[in-house]
């Protein structure tokens, strides 16, 4: 018995056991950890990390930052219009993606899916939408519908379905089964159980995921313009290609403010929903 535990026992106070330590990994896990560490070192070599190149490049970074300030306001109206288009793409894509995610998530929830084949198909679609990067979807839709914000919005719809579909399905599976069983015992149909018990219980988590999706879409919509999918990204690309770094600084600051406002509003809404659900 340690001195602290002995003094606590002598004073009549309840003693607490020492906190559990990490368990010693077995031979298999030890080999796995060693393999992961070796691959990390190999990845550093494959990434061609060079401290010397970073140090030698710092003057170029300083020169670039110096050319960015003060930011130019020569094309402020055009930049503002592109920023508005960027948020419109993000908002419309998020709303449509969230609405399409609900029926897909119902089919992807094991306890709610009408048929096992439909369950596996829904899970495969969600995995496909999540696996393929946004820029690849943007290129696909640019070829399909042409350049412009419509291609970007379609990309964000697919991205929202992949993100929300998974988390919506998990939220539905984690709901309390008691009300669902009670409604089933009373003879309610599957649709009645879903809309009367499952969705109301999962709604706070689904709204939370939807707000995170809006934040994610706002950041992603900036990059989509680099491949011609509309928004502020094309303005940033043109400014950088023409070495107009002062205009690029204006665009970067505008993007920062847009993302900051969206994240703050989203955080306020999540906190309010959390207080109401408690």
Provide the CATH number for the domain around residue 188.
1.10.3720.10
Encode pLDDT of 48-85 as tens digits.
888 888 899 899 988 988 888 888 888 888 888 888 99
Angle of CA points 124, 125, 129, to nearest 5°:
120
118 part of a folded domain? yes
Higher per-residue confidence, 248 vs 23: 248
- Predicted pLDDT at 17: 66
DSSP state of 72: P
220 part of a folded domain? yes
Alpha-carbon span 270 to 213, nearest angstrom: 12
82 part of a folded domain? yes
202 part of a folded domain? yes
Measured from the Cβ of residue 207, the count of other Cβ atoms closer than 10 Å reads: 16
Residue 99 has pLDDT above 90, yes or no: yes
Domain span at 106: 74-277
Residue 13 has pLDDT above 70, yes or no: no
27 part of a folded domain? no
């Amino acid at each position: 018995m340690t001195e602290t535990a002995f003094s606590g026992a002598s004073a009549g106070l309840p003693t607490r056991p020492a906190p559990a330590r990490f368990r010693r990994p077995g031979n298999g896990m030890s080999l796995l950890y060693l393999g992961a560490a070796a691959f990390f070192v190999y990845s550093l070599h494959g990434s061609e990390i060079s401290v010397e190149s970073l140090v030698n490049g710092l003057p170029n970074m300083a020169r670039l930052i110096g050319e960015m300030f003060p930011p130019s306001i020569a094309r402020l109206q055009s930049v503002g219009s592109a920023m508005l288009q960027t948020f419109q793409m993000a908002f419309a894509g998020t709303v449509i993606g969230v609405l399409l995610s609900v029926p897909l998530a119902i089919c992807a929830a094991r306890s709610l899916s009408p048929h096992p084949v439909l369950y596996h198909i829904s899970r495969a679609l969600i995995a496909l939408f999540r696996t393929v990067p946004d820029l690849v979807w943007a290129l696909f839709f640019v070829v399909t519908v042409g350049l412009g914000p419509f291609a970007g919005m379609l990309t964000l719809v697919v991205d929202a379905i992949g993100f929300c579909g998974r988390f919506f399905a998990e939220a539905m599976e984690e709901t309390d089964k008691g009300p669902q069983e009670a409604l089933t015992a009373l003879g309610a149909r599957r649709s009645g159980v879903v809309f009367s018990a499952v969705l109301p219980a999962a709604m706070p988590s689904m709204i939370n995921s939807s707000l995170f999706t809006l934040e994610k879409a706002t950041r992603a919509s900036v990059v989509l313009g680099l491949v011609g999918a509309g928004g502020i990204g094309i303005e940033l690309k043109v400014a950088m290609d023409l070495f107009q770094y002062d205009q690029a600084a204006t665009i970067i600051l505008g993007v920062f403010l847009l993302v900051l406002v969206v994240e703050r509003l989203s955080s306020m809404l999540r906190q309010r929903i959390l207080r109401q659900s408690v």
